[in-house]
Amino acid sequence: MRLTEKLVDQIQKISYEDINESAGQIVRFAVLDSVGSALAASKTTVGKKYIALSEDEYGGTSKIWGTKVLTTLNLASFVNSFLAQTLDFDDTYEIKTLAVTHPGPAIVPLALTMGQAFDISARDLIRSIVLGYELCMRFSNSIEPRDDSYFGFSNSQVIGAVTASAILMGLKREEFVNALGLAVSTSPVANTKGMWSLEKRPMAWVKDGVGFVVFNALMCSKMARLGFISTREGLDPENEFYKICGASQYKTEEMLREIGKYFLIEKISFKPYPTCRFMQSTLDAISRIISEKSINHTQVYKIQIFLTPYLAKSFDEKSPPNLIDAQFSLPYAATMVLLKKEPSPEWYEPSLLDNNPVVKKIMKKIEIIADDDVEKKRKEESQLKIKIKIFLNDNTEFFEEAGIAKGHPDNPFTQFDHEKKFKNALAPFFKKQKIDRVMNLILGMNSDTKISEIVAEI
């Protein structure tokens, strides 16, 4: 039997009742995380441009989050997914401390938007999300490490998205197999570093292209349901999909190993800061030092941050022109931490981004240094061990090696952390009553909760 067929058989055997309580709770946190990120992003300049894509396609039953706009299922899924990633606040799967995919924005908005359209209950939503994350993350395990030229995660995301959509459509075995085959055959190609424009700013606003991933996955599931035939070996090594993803090897044993006995969604990481995941441990370390030592930014003479050569070159942006560039500017993010700004969309207010003299002055104190030892640990140990030195005006020095960021399974968010992130993200834009209502609906989901009731409030 082919690997793809075995995977479908195993996935279809897993029922809602097989999902342990811990994995189910992580689903609630993942939904809260994606919804909070998307709602906050809907009020930003970039988010409003995504929403504007619906202007000539009004009419339908599917909601674009943060608005009263109703449009088609396809377009709403496309926009909602992009909104969930706009602030770079999305969840991350890490192997050790290296990010290898972002399942949340590709799976959660699609599942919720479909959930509204098909009037499903939370039991079906939770199952689709758990199993979507499962195949997305298993596929990531099977193809890493990839060639360093490849920087995006659309190829693993589409596996998770098509899994979730196939489950919610109730595809039969052969239809599910064909949906996977269609997805790998039409998947958005893996990004290269150059496509992100990290080294040639301004950055590209579309990074992983998650909206295209979701649109593709949804259409593939629809086509399979109508009887379209594709390769039945979508995830088999003979199809060589892994090569398109930038991998030189495909560890197929990772796809089936003890599947159903545990759920990888429990290994997902959540971001405490609205920035690239590769910055999070650095920001944690800076925050920890200035908090423990009661340091004010005026006391800081200089901060040195030692990174891999590529990240040092890419993240050393001291004049970010917009929120996307600021998300990938380590001097800017570190400045927000030094100013003790709560991590939220408020980091990217025009009053801070547009040549604010205090922000500019602090950014000049931050020195980004390429370090071969950090690069060696990344390559040989799959560990991002960034080093930070803080020098004060009185010649006091502090040193820390950053490792596991807050939100990682080994340094996890508490429920309080999840609630705080959600509230902080939405507080600038929404009334407290709405924030609390949406949060309580999501965290209070039980098996019979109607997803349409939740989406109506988003």
Q: In CATH, what number is assigned to the domain containing residue 370?
A: 3.30.1330.120
Q: What is the mean pLDDT of residues 427-448?
A: 97
Q: Whole domain around residue 336: which residue ranges?
A: 277-402
Question: Are both 342 and 425 inside the same structural domain?
Answer: no
Question: Are both 290 and 224 inside the same structural domain?
Answer: no
**108 part of a folded domain:** yes
CB 21: neighbour CB atoms within 10 A?
A: 7
CA atoms of 57 and 53, how far apart (whole Å): 8
Question: Is-contact 152 208, C-beta < 8 A?
Answer: yes
The pLDDT of residue 403 is 80
Q: Which residues pair with 121 in a beta bridge?
A: 450
Question: Are both 194 and 312 inside the same structural domain?
Answer: no
The pLDDT of residue 443 is 98
Q: In CATH, what number is assigned to the domain containing residue 37?
A: 1.10.4100.10
Q: Which of 245, 389, 178 is nearest to 303 (CA)?
A: 389
Residue-wise pLDDT for 26-61, tens only, equals 999 999 999 999 999 999 999 999 999 998 877 899
Question: Are both 87 and 32 inside the same structural domain?
Answer: yes
Residue 77 has phi, psi (to 5 degrees) of -65, -45
Question: Are both 242 and 366 inside the same structural domain?
Answer: no
CA atoms of 36 and 426, how far apart (whole Å): 7
Question: Are both 297 and 384 inside the same structural domain?
Answer: yes
Query: In percent, how much of the chain has pLDDT > 70?
Result: 100
Q: What is the Cα Rg of the chain in Å?
A: 21
CA atoms of 165 and 110, how far apart (whole Å): 7
Residue-wise pLDDT for 158-187, tens only, equals 999 999 999 999 999 999 999 999 999 998
Last residue of some domain: 375, 402, 429?
Answer: 402
- Give me the helix-helix angle, 210-225 and 173-186, nearest 10°: 140
Query: In percent, how much of the chain has pLDDT > 90?
Result: 91
The pLDDT of residue 383 is 86
Q: What is the mean pLDDT of residues 308-329?
A: 96
Question: Are both 112 and 255 inside the same structural domain?
Answer: yes
**240 part of a folded domain:** yes
Q: Per-residue pLDDT for 371 more than 90?
A: yes
- Structural domain count of the chain: 2
Q: Per-residue pLDDT for 189 more than 90?
A: no
The pLDDT of residue 382 is 84
The pLDDT of residue 27 is 98
Question: Are both 20 and 109 inside the same structural domain?
Answer: yes
The pLDDT of residue 202 is 96
The pLDDT of residue 372 is 94
Q: Per-residue pLDDT for 150 more than 90?
A: no
**407 part of a folded domain:** no
**45 part of a folded domain:** yes
The pLDDT of residue 329 is 98
Question: Are both 328 and 446 inside the same structural domain?
Answer: no
Average pLDDT for the chain: 96
Residues 193-211 as b/e (b if ≥16 CB within 10 A, e otherwise) read eebbbbeebebeebbbbbb
Question: Are both 198 and 109 inside the same structural domain?
Answer: yes
Residue-wise pLDDT for 270-309, tens only, equals 999 999 999 999 999 999 999 999 999 999 999 999 999 9
3-state secondary structure of 343: coil
The pLDDT of residue 274 is 98
Q: What is the mean pLDDT of residues 381-404?
A: 93
Question: Are both 363 and 378 inside the same structural domain?
Answer: yes
CB 416: neighbour CB atoms within 10 A?
A: 8
Burial class (CB in 10 A: 0-12, 13-18, 19+), 22: exposed
Q: Which of 48, 45, 101, 58 is nearest to 79 (CA)?
A: 48
Burial class (CB in 10 A: 0-12, 13-18, 19+), 226: exposed
Confidence of residue 151 (pLDDT cuts 50, 70, 90): confident
CB 165: neighbour CB atoms within 10 A?
A: 28
Question: Are both 431 and 347 inside the same structural domain?
Answer: no
